[in-house]
Chains A and B, each alone.
Chain A
Amino acid sequence: MGLRGDARSMVLFIEQCLNGLQFGLLLFLLAAGLTLVFGIMDLVNLAHGSLYMLGAYFAATFAALTGSFVLGAVLALAATLVVGMAVEVIAMRRLYGRDHLDHVLGTFGLILFFNELVRLVWGPAGRTLPLPDWLSTSVQIFPGVYYPTYRFTIIFVALAVALALYFVVMRTRIGMLVRAGASNREMIGALGINIKLLYTFVFGAGAALAGLAGLMQTPILTASIGMGENILIVAFVVIIIGGIGSIRGAFIASIFVGLVDTVGRAFLPTLLKLFLTPAAASAAGPALSSMLIYLLMAIILVVRPEGLFPAANR
């Protein structure tokens, strides 16, 4: 109430930027998992979104069962990791080395399976995950301007994970394989690494990243069937823009896409009103807002089809 018009817009803009950053970081967790799996096992996994969804549902259930948000989150993460590794052992192993179309079809089958399984176990209605009191507060970022603590938590956790991932990719042998774009079994074997174990581990790690993203956004957006696929496609857009096989590209592209999508959706209708009639602006606004990130992808495709930071040999 006490702020003037343009100051309010400024506050809104900052808020949306932070939201965009938060969304971008969640996208990064998803995209990183996809890129890891593609980079090391040359596997296109459409069911990555299902693991995102499972993370959300597990968190909702375990938090309700244990009464603790944090414990619920940790258990959910562990459960998603286990499911991920199980999926790798049972299904993914048989897909390695095959045509990418086979991967797409096979994992599409898995999506159908998981969506229906969730519907069977949890019902069609979806689940919520309420925040504990200590996370429901707000933090003052400027005098009189507040931003939810929980969203800051997401940003913080995601950045921490990104940093850890950077460390692993840059400083370990496994990371070296990722950077080399190695989907070459002989090279892996020559380094003295057990391939089967490595693949299961990498897939599990990807699953955990997806599950983490899923559970973290549940208090904001709830857990619902099919939630994985919508964000998965956005993760694909991130990878296309950033360059397939490149984690650094995925990071920069996710932040970029997150900001464009969030800030765009918030401000495009207002922007349109500047040079369209109110009726036209409110008709075109939502349509154009949802198209923004795809238009961005289209521009990158025209200018640099291999992405912004493509991994060297792909």
Chain B
Amino acid sequence: MKSHVTFRNIVVAALLVMLALVPLYSAWIGNNFALILFTRIVILAIAAVSLNLIMGYGGMVSFGHAAYLGIGAYVVGILAYEGVPSGFLQWPLALVVSGLFALLIGALSLRTRGVYFIMITLAFAQMIYYVAVSLSRYGADDGLTIYRRSQFGGLDLSNKVVFYYVCLALLLLVILIVWRIVNSRFGMVIRGAKSNERRMRAIGFPTFRYRLTCFVISGVICGLSGALLANHTEFVSPADMHWTRSGDLIIMVVLGGMGSLFGPVIGAVAFLLLEEGLARLTEYWQIIFGPLLLAVVLYARGGIDGLLAGGKRG
């Protein structure tokens, strides 16, 4: 039987331990920079996990997932602005609204596939972006400041360490949920549909309803990530759902390694650290990053996870 003690699994375990210890590290060196950076990484890792569910396991390449990030964030921001600070109302509503948008957009987009699907998800996300820009009551282009984080009674989210561990716990919960889903009956249908949709229909599966459900689940999880992001930055703006953010999410998933449980986490860590590091090198860091991305696409297609697993993927 296969051993679970592989190089790759050791790296993943080490990564998780490292993530758990970030607040201690920050306390030790006396400044919060690492804590703030890694809170953002963990939050975007949740979004990346949601995208990997439909992309890596389902073969649905959504170039519009930042829309659900933004929607989740805006629900929290708008409710906070309108005097509803309770997290017990904000977060569930963020999930529901993201889910509804995913349902609508998915129902329209999933009638197509391949390039069409990519373009359509991009177009709808752009539409949502423009709607956010036109919301003058909620700051339009300039965005909306959130003066109080989501209130959960005893749980104080404005404490950065508490908030970090909440995010980390949610990340692990989301990974657990995705793990169960992809190995369940539902997950097998999704994976079969990615592998050979024509055959799936021939053996008796109405694939559309399953893929749509998967798309909605992904949108809901991404909406959660948005709610967390709004709390983290205490600010929401249309920039959160600019199409380049959707591109960033795709990069995280591919960089980390598609279709593996922890790939998106690796990808989020790698991407955001790289972004941070390159930005320190030069103001024009995207001149390096752009071609670097192209190189990864051409030569390291299985992502980091693929490299760790011995390059068998890709």
Contact = CB atoms under 8 A, between A and B. Distances in A.
Interface of A: 38, 44, 91, 94-95, 100-102, 104-106, 108-117, 119-120, 229, 233, 236-237, 239-240, 244, 283, 286-287, 290-291, 294, 297-298, 301-302, 305
A294 B134 contact: no
Given A116-B286, A287-B135, A290-B131, A109 B111 contact: no
Interface stretch (B155-163, B211-219, B263-271, B292-300): B292-300
Interface in B269-287: 284-287
12 contacts: A44-B118, A95-B298, A100-B61, A104-B118, A112-B286, A113-B287, A113-B289, A119-B284, A120-B287, A294-B123, A301-B109, A302-B108
Interface in B20-64: 61, 63
B127 A104 contact: no
A106 B297 contact: yes
Contacts of B285: 116
Given A105-B251, A109-B292, A283 B136 contact: yes
Nearest to B109: A301
Contacts of A91: 294
B122 interface: yes
Given A104-B63, A113-B290, A240-B123, A286 B284 contact: no
B287 to A, nearest CB: 5
Contacts of A237: 123
Nearest to B254: A105
B139 interface: no
B114 interface: yes
B112 A305 contact: yes
B221 interface: no
A236 B287 contact: no
Nearest to B124: A294
A56 to B, nearest CB: 19
A83 B112 CA distance: 33
A256 to B, nearest CB: 15
A218 B218 CA distance: 41
Contacts of A108: 247, 250-251, 293
